[in-house]
Amino acid sequence: MLSLTRSRSASILLAILAAVYFVTAVQSGSALENLQSSSLADAWVLYTPAGGMWRILTYSLLHQGLAHLIMNGFTLYFFAAELERIYGHWQVIALFVVLAVGSADVIVLMDPFSATVGASGAIFGFFAVALLLAIKHHGQVRAMIAFIVVNLGYTFFTPGVSLWGHLGGLIAGFVVGAVLVYGAPAGGFATVKARNQAITRRWIILAVSFVVFVGAAYLLLQLPLATL
């Protein structure tokens, strides 16, 4: 299902992730402990008691060490490239943003006292969208299910991995992906007008999803920490 092809969305996202990692590494003076003594990391990490609405997105751009960045970057590249074939590079980037925020909502709700970083929540959302596309277009459904199960197993049994970040991304991916995949056709258009209407419909779905997820985060962040 997945192939190593050139991807503008992946290239743009990876460039951003690499740039953020470079800044934190320079600030901390360490390639491995790059989040320590980094003012950018302190300002961007998702940690509910610290407040700050921007953290529901910026946390996804931070990575703890080069290995974390490479692992997420490799997976992100393959899935972004695959989704880009259907949705185009700008909509894949927008989908990443939406899924990162959706994952943050679940983290804030279920694990508010955990400091969380990394793009893996959004990447798990990509997994869900890819699975839904495979189901609709009769692709490699079993392979995708097995891939997701293996990654969930890694999530449950590896210390330091954000369980709710990964589950949150997966949930957000299934919710947004279901509307995208089944509510906005991705091919077989009879006319250019029909194609443009489908593209517009996908932008509307992404915009509404973003507003809903940001709104949910805002409401969650207003709650007293004792209730979370």
Domains of the chain (ranges plus CATH)?
8-227 (1.20.1540.10)
Query: What is the band of 227 on the pLDDT scale with cuts at 50, 70, 90?
Result: low
Mean pLDDT across the stretch 75-100?
A: 96
pLDDT tens digits for range 1-25? 455 568 999 999 999 999 999 999 9
In this predicted model, what pLDDT tens digit does every residue of 156-207 receive, in sequence order?
A: 988 889 999 999 999 999 999 999 999 877 766 668 888 888 899 999 999 9
pLDDT (0 to 100) of residue 1: 46
Q: What is the pLDDT of residue 184?
A: 77
Q: Are 191 and 144 in contact (CB under 8 A)?
A: no
Q: How confident is the model at residue 188, as a pLDDT?
A: 67
Structure confidence by residue, pLDDT tens digits, 38-73:
999 999 999 999 999 999 999 999 999 999 999 999
DSSP labels, 131-173:
HHHHHHTT--HHHHHHHHHHHHHHHHHSTT--HHHHHHHHHHH
pLDDT the model gives residue 198: 86
* Termini Cα distance of the chain: 40
Reply yes or no on whether the pLDDT at 101 is more than 90: yes
The two counts, helices (H) then strands (E), for the chain are: 9, 0
pLDDT tens digits for range 111-163: 999 999 999 999 999 999 999 999 999 899 999 999 999 999 999 988 889 99
Residues 50 and 39: their CA atoms lie apart, in Å, by 14
Least confident range of 100-104, 154-158, 221-225: 221-225
pLDDT for residue 84 is more than 70: yes
